[in-house]
Amino acid sequence: MENFNTNDYYDDKPLQPMAAGTSRRQFLTQIGLGGIGLAAVPYISRGGENVPVLEAPEMQQVRFTVNGKPQQLILDTRVTLLDALRERLDLTGSKKGCDHGQCGACTVLIDGRRINSCLHLAVMCEGASVTTIEGLATGDELHPVQVAFIKHDAFQCGYCTPGQICSAVGLIKEGHAHSDVEIREAMSGNICRCGAYQHILEAIKDVQKQA
Ligand code: FES
Ligand code: FES
């Protein structure tokens, strides 16, 4: 196997065979120093630890409608819709259960379609119409799904309920799930740690029947 001259490597030149007479120690030292140089680029030392250098956030304006009200926000492009709703618009009905798309507690409707708002960047909502649990009722009149959840006692602690209701509203609108198995499958992205599943199912079927 041939040895290579690392100086040539860091000059972005093709690797050249290392000159005869270069010792193994010299070679390893060059490799080590080069490695430190490369690794130092994205890190700074703080308190004895290497921490990544964070780039300044990229801010972007987003204009969208939330529960029928036009909103205009300037946001870090990394902010999720869930955080924008809860922390910028004080709409705390949508819950942060896992923040990883696994529990459904953050479900809202975008242009009528249900989505996990913890997985959706707020800046992707430009021009969209977002509906949260706070926007389902009409004045003092609850949405039929809200009424059915109360009637069928479809919650216990209530933490998952805003997401369950938004998901149920989306599901009914989709119109493809009618049997118990289909409804359970279509609602499987919404986890209820209290196990209110049977009552949630009854509530959804009740609304479908009325419709
Ligand atoms: Fe979004 Fe759990 S908080 S899916
Ligand atoms: Fe408690 Fe669903 S009602 S988590």
Which CATH number is 97's domain given? Answer: 3.10.20.30
Instruction: Report how far ligand 2's centroid is from the alpha carbon of 127 (Å).
Output: 33
69/21 same-domain check = no
Instruction: Report how far ligand 2's centroid is from the alpha carbon of 109 (Å).
Output: 20
127/70 same-domain check = yes
In a domain, 170, yes or no: yes
68/18 same-domain check = no
pLDDT of the chain, 211 residues: tens digit per residue: 444 443 333 344 444 444 555 565 565 555 554 444 444 456 766 677 777 777 788 999 999 999 999 999 999 999 999 999 999 999 999 999 999 999 999 999 999 999 999 999 999 999 999 999 999 999 999 999 999 999 999 999 999 999 999 999 999 999 999 999 999 999 999 999 999 999 999 999 999 999 8
In a domain, 192, yes or no: yes
Cα-Cα-Cα-Cα dihedral of 94, 100, 103, 106, to 10°?
10
Domain span including residue 109: 59-135
In a domain, 86, yes or no: yes
121/78 same-domain check = yes
Q: Enter the pTM of the model.
A: 0.76
In a domain, 52, yes or no: no
Mutate to test the pocket of ligand 1, among 83, 118, 121, 187 (most ligand atoms within 8 A of CB): 118
- Among 80, 103, 135, the domain-final residue is 135
Instruction: Report how far ligand 1's centroid is from the alpha carbon of 61 (Å).
Output: 24
83/106 same-domain check = yes
Q: Which residue blocks in 11-152 are alpha helix, DSSP H?
A: 24-40, 81-83, 144-151
Is the distance from the beta carbon of residue 155 to the nearest atom of ligand 2 less than 6 Å?
A: yes
Number of folded domains in the chain?
3
Residue type, 178: H
In a domain, 51, yes or no: no
Say what angle helices 144-151 and 197-210 make with each other, to 10 degrees.
Answer: 130
181/206 same-domain check = yes
